[in-house]
Amino acid sequence: MKIRLAYGKEGLAVELPDHATLIEPDYIPSLPDETGALKTALRNPIGTMTLRQATIPGHKIGISVCDITRPIPSDRILPVLLGELAHIPPSDITIFLATGTHRSNSNQEIESMLGEFVVNHGCKIVNHDAFDSKALTRVGVTEGGIPVFLNKEWAGCDFRITTGFVEPHFFAGFSGGPKMVAPGLAGFDTTMALHNAEMISHPNARWGITKGNPIHDSIREIARMIPVNFSLDVTINKNRGITSVYAGNLFEVHRAASRFALSTAMQGVNKPFDVVVTTNSGYPLDMNLYQAVKGMSAASQVVKKGGSIVCVAECSDGIPDHGRYYEILTSAESPTALLDMINTPGFDKHDQWQVQIQALIQAESDVYLKSDFLSDNQIKRAHLIPVEDVANTVNHLMGKANNGTICVLPEGPQTIPFIRR
């Protein structure tokens, strides 16, 4: 069968075995009137006053938004949100790009994300920098001992608003909501503690699980330290169309959006597969190898131990060239050796959590990578197997498995498969 895989901006058509099990997200059509739905949610919030009731001229307003690695349609959301803040001078509104420990977004990327109207509206736009100690303020310590540093300007706002899109997340349970504060606007030391080896290896730190998830619990605790006054979360389909909207209290909104995402994005299968073909949902999610680990993680949920994962991720932004992900990844001779190194007491390096997750997957399965922007040498140094032609690679693997079972995730982690128990 011919299947179009999400790959970069254009996609990739491949011929795969007819007996392949196809797992895609339930297609939810975009809301017929996105602007109307946004206005309705904002004017009928869950558990809070409306923005017009809760804010007054003179308030300094902070709005946390996703960075370029997330496909949220901020260019359609923010104009409506700003319309509800029309009584606030734009000069008193700051839009914070919640980059976490990612790189800063370029001016071109900012205009692409936020849209011309927002960029020219007169609001201040800030690229969060987790590594700039002067731009951070210490706000406390969590019960688990995590030192909490947050963006100083964000903490100094009179009224704080988060905007996010909610989908299952591979170790925090779900994206959006309180993640727009931590790690989105947190300092490096906070993120390191939040993503340490013990937290990442916890059995509940996984897709779609919030109850008993130590990472999710800590994120919520941090978000309470400098309270969010209002939250707007959406769910989206593969075309970036908004499928549901929730506004109001941070935690109530996130719970409602997570329930919706869980009902549409998680799909069960009866048995694991010999081969799983996955993507990282195309651009912008597959813009680098670091992000592509999420697609590998989705596939790992349903691949047999000793099976094979074929990950299709364009990686137009490379490894990337910031952080220490690739440095750590290439510093040991095998995934098992990487895990031993990361679990050594005192080992504490930026991006170790992403390497840990990738190594856990690779310790159980062979992982192949199709990328038009990474060299074979770069791929091999990451303990991955380069793929020139996806169909040929799959045919080879199916031959090794005696024409065994194969699963395809054309949209990658937009759908999270799981084994029914």
Q: Where do the DSSP E strands lie in 176-312?
A: 230-236, 242-248, 266-269, 273-279, 303-312
**Contact status, residue 295 vs residue 416, Cβ threshold 8 Å:** no
Q: Three-state SS for 408?
A: strand
User: Catalytic pick from 102, 128, 254, 350?
Assistant: 102
**CA–CA distance, 158 with 229 (Å, rounded to integer):** 9
Q: Which residues pair with 138 in a beta bridge?
A: 149
Question: Strands 273-279 and 406-409: what pairing?
Answer: parallel
Q: Is residue 169 flagged as an active site residue?
A: yes
User: Catalytic pick from 19, 87, 121, 169?
Assistant: 169
Q: Is the four-CA dihedral 337, 343, 346, 348 of positive or negative sign?
A: positive
Q: Is residue 121 flagged as an active site residue?
A: no
Residue 263 CB: number of other CB atoms within 10 A?
11
The DSSP code for 313 is -
Q: Three-state SS for 278?
A: strand
Distances (CA, A) of 53 to 42, 57, 326: 11, 11, 48
Question: Strands 406-409 and 124-127: what pairing?
Answer: unpaired
Catalytic residues: 102, 169
